[in-house]
Structures are given as C-alpha cells and as structure tokens.
Structure 1
Amino acid sequence: MSEQAVRDALVKWGRSLFERGLTAGSSGNISVKLDDGFLVTPTNSCLGFLEASRISKLAPDGKHVSGAAPTKELPLHFAFYEARPQAKAVVHLHSTYATLLSCLADADPNDAIPPITPYVVMRVGRVPIVPYTKPGSPEVAPYIRDKAPEHAAILLGNHGPVVAGPSLEAAVFAAEELEETAKLVILARGLNVRHLPAEAIADLNASFKLK
C-alpha cells in the first residue's frame, strides 16, 4: 500500500470511529508503521475531520519529517511498536465503556475483559490494565513494554483503551470489538454471566491466533 493510500485510510477509519461515537472531540489518536517511518494523527486533531495532507510523517527514529505536529501520545505508540514487532498500527480511543472499565477499582488488572464471546477472544484477547500516567508522559512506556509482547490490547488506567494490530483495519476492528464487549461487561455487572469454557478459548486461540 502506498503512503498516500495509508493517509487516505487513516482519514476513512478516523471518520468512521468518530461518527459512531467511539471517540469525541479531539480525543484519540492513531498511528501506522511504514517501511520508512510512521504516519500519526496530529495533536489536538479530531479523528472525524482528518486531512490526509496534514497527517504527521515521522522518521523511523521518531523525528518529525512533515505534516502537522504529531500527537503527544507518541511514547504510548512507540512502546507498543518496540515491544510488539508484529504491530503495524496502533489505535488509542476514549470510547465510553472501555474507558469506564479502566476507571473501575474492582476491574481485574490482569484481564478486564472476560471471555464472554468468541470474537473478543479472536480479535482482542486478554486485556490488562496498567497504572494511570499523565497523557503523553513517557512514564507509560515501561508499562506498555511489559504487557504488549503478550497482549494486543491494553487499558490505560483512568484513561482508555489502546489496541495494536497487524494492519490499520485489524487494529480498528479490534478496538471496536473491545468497546462492544466492554459495554456487555458493564451492562451485565451483577448478573450471572456464563463465560466461554477453557477448552473453547484454547480452540479459538489455536484457530484464530492473534497477531
């Protein structure tokens, strides 16, 4: 895929996420790894109104090459790419239900999204919660590097979800699946929910291994 095609895809998927209420105002950011660097959504930009020509281009070492200034959340994105070499895109949102889960004191920090549907196992996997850090702070990097090798999705404490994928489309779909499952988890709190059995999870992992 050409760089221009990736820019156009960032505009398309950013608008899709915004129009369906998965990110509000100027919240959220997306990055894509290229052969010669990265494309990153600009700082203080609304994902619903991205302009392909203004998307930030970064060199492999993170130096700003062209476009508008990049999101302040670069430490978060680069930590994911460093710890998860198979990742080609990272999506960070403030979607309502996943963000709410990241704020709940009794959420399981090792797996905040229980395996209640096959698709959350197939597309998202286990989702740990890492401690709160100030948005844009490099202090988030060691937490991400610790979890990302084994987890494609992470909840930032009191902040929201971040998801990596082998393509931009895959990362967006996984972020959507995470939000929808988080909604189910919140709605079902206090109910006697049936989780997928261990053998079903093992079968899904064997058939649809996350990348």
Structure 2
Amino acid sequence: MLDLKEIFLKKGFTNEQAEILKEAFLNTRQYEEGDNFQQEGQVCQHIALIVKGQFRYFYHTEEGEVTRWISLEGDFMTSLSSFIQQKPAVENIQATKDCTLALLSKTSWTKLYAEYEFIREFWLRTISYNYIGMEERVFHQIALSAEQRYQWMLENYPRFNQEVPDKYIASMLGITPRHLSRIRAKRI
C-alpha cells in the first residue's frame, strides 16, 4: 500500500503541498472487489485517491457492460461531470479488487480549491489531461484499427497490460477478449 505523502510527492507536489493534501485526504475507506464507489443515477460527492487497488468506469448498454476506463493505484478518481455539475452520474465506478481509497468530499475540495493556487493549477492540468485523453480515445475508436488502438494503449498506458484483466482492456478498446488474444498472438 502506498503512503499518501509519497504519492503526492511523486505527482510533483512540493513537500509543503503534499502535507496539505495528506491532511485533506485523511478520510480512508476500504472497498471489496465488486463494491461501487459511484453508481449511475447518484450524484458523486467525492474525489478519491486510490491508495491500493483499481477501479473500472463502466456503462450499462443494451449489449451489456462497457468499460470506459480503469484507474490504478496512485490515480485520482471521480465521476467528473457528476462531481462538477452535482447531477446524477451516467457511469458506474466499481472496485475490480480489494481497495483502499483516501477520500475528499465536494465541500472540502471546494474549500481547498478556493484557498490554494497550487490546487487550481493541479485541477486545470488534470482537466486538460483528461480532456485530451478522452479526445484521443474518441478519435482512435473512429479512425484507428483495433491493432492500432492496442499499440497506442501499450505505448501510453503500459501498466494496463500488466495490471488490468483482459476483458476490461478489450472492452476499453471496443473489441472482444478473443479479438484481443488474436492481436497479441500476431505481435509475437
């Protein structure tokens, strides 16, 4: 399990900033595999830091569940549009293994955001990074082959190939697990 201050320092925060964040994220909660951090239809009230474990973001569709993303140990996570707009979420966020989260409520986040410039800068970088990533993934789903999407994922998110179950990788790529196996077999 990662130390909170160590996580913040690795993310580029100064020692003083890491201490402020460590104090803000004091509330921790355990999740068992299958537990939901967020359910569609509910308003997201927290930003979380994954201290241990991983979570998947998914939607229910007519064809079944579609995994949009996986957040890994050391990542921040929230249902962004629900958290910002305080409207019901359209996605689910579920533990894929036993997890520990450090939580920060919407009220506490708003206070930190108002008080500290480094939080506002971090938020802008995070939103920009997430928007660009979402834009890239949409483009890739439209314009690239499954093999190209897989190659891009390997280059940009190498931890996924090591830590994420194949069924979730395949779902994020918009393919079946069988097709993912064929792509991998071609690469050998």
Taking structure 1 as the reference length, the TM-score comes to 0.27
Bigger strand share: 2
Bigger helix share: 2
Which one has the largest radius of gyration? Answer: 2
